[in-house]
Structure 1
């Protein structure tokens, strides 16, 4: 079931000891979620289980970030990212996410684990500016080329800073 949610400017702050945990299948459908995920998403566990994980995607998040995430996971690597999520009531919450592929005994992915914790304000300030620029680039490029344009802009930011994506994210 898809919900029509209108974003608000109401921010929800995670507590320092909160960890949002979820597991998805290979298609991104939620197969497990902990009580902190239920709390911050505003959805009932029954609404989350079987739903696409993007049920909490905030429109302020560039599509290119998720393309980068999925490309990294498909390469069987873990990915770190700062993500702005949206609750069922339209409020938002920032997380620092670690997403890893769940590999079987033969190294084949069978799903994905994600653990998210409170994002630090200084990190949010940095990534918000980058994400705004990426969104503007996606809009300029149009739907067909949005992800590629967004990722190209991210690449130029990283080159300008002289760091890799992981170095930037883990330094914040």
Structure 2
């Protein structure tokens, strides 16, 4: 969500930054605007996941249930990983 309250969609790849001792000290995120066709697949799935999370008073339980829903949706679509699923609906130009 933008500062002004508008929604916007990006695909983000987040990578941790480590110090010399191997401890996470921050994160780096690369973002890109998804194609409109990809949003047609992602938006309904996202809304279902959010509904599932909100259905539970315990936020940890809600997150666990939505994570299972996501993995089930990926498997049902015929993919062995979320990354393969996402790369399929977001072809590179």
TM-score tier, shorter chain, comes to 0.7 to 0.9
Which structure has more relative contact order (CA 8 Å, sep 6+)? It is 1
Aligned ranges 1:98-117 → 2 under 5 Å: 98-117=13-32
1:98 Cα offset (Å): 1.3
Aligned residue number for residue 86 of structure 2: 169
Aligned residue number for residue 38 of structure 2: 123
TM-score, normalised via structure 2 length: 0.80
Please, which runs of 5 or more residues in structure 1 have no aligned partner?
1-85
Q: Whole-Å Cα distance in 2 between the matches of residues 160 and 90 of structure 1?
A: 34
Structure 1 residue ranges, 4+ long, deviating more than 3 angstroms after superposition: none
TM-score, normalised via structure 1 length: 0.46
Match of 2:5 among 78, 81, 90: 90
Please, which runs of 5 or more residues in structure 2 have no aligned partner?
none
**Cα deviation per residue 1:32-79 (whole Å; 9 max; x = unaligned)?**
xxxxxxxxxxxxxxxxxxxxxxxxxxxxxxxxxxxxxxxxxxxxxxxx
Aligned ranges 1:6-155 → 2 under 5 Å: 86-140=1-55, 142-144=56-58, 145-155=61-71
1:162 Cα offset (Å): 2.2
**Cα deviation per residue 1:71-129 (whole Å; 9 max; x = unaligned)?**
xxxxxxxxxxxxxxx11211122111111011234433211001212111111111111
Alpha-carbon RMSD across the aligned residues, in angstroms, is 1.5
Q: Determine helix, strand or coil for the equivalent of 1:150.
A: helix
Q: Whole-Å Cα distance in 2 between the matches of residues 165 and 149 of structure 1?
A: 16
User: Greater share of strand residues, 1 or 2?
Assistant: 1
User: Greater share of helix residues, 1 or 2?
Assistant: 2
How many aligned residue pairs are there?
86
